[in-house]
Structure 1
Amino acid sequence: MLLFLDVDGPLIPFGAADRAYPLHDGPPVPAGHPLLPRLDPALGPRLTALGCALVWATTWMDDANDCIAPWLGLPPLPVVRWPDADERPGPQYWKTRTLADWAAGRPFVWVDDEITEADRAWIAVHHPAPTLPHRVDHRYGLTEADFAVLEEWLGEHAGGARGRV
Structure 2
Amino acid sequence: AAVTDVQRLQARVEELERWVYGSGGPRGSRKVADGLVKVQVALGNIASKRERVKILYKKIEDLIKYLDPEYIDRIAIPDASKLQFILAEEQFILSQIALLEQVEALVPMLDSAHIKAVPEHAARLQRLAQIHIQQQDQCVEITEESKALLEEYNKT
TM-score tier by shorter-chain length is: under 0.3
TM-score, scaled to structure 2: 0.16
TM-score, scaled to structure 1: 0.16
Higher RCO (C-alpha under 8 Å, 6+ residues apart) = 1
- Per residue, is there more strand in 1 or in 2? 1
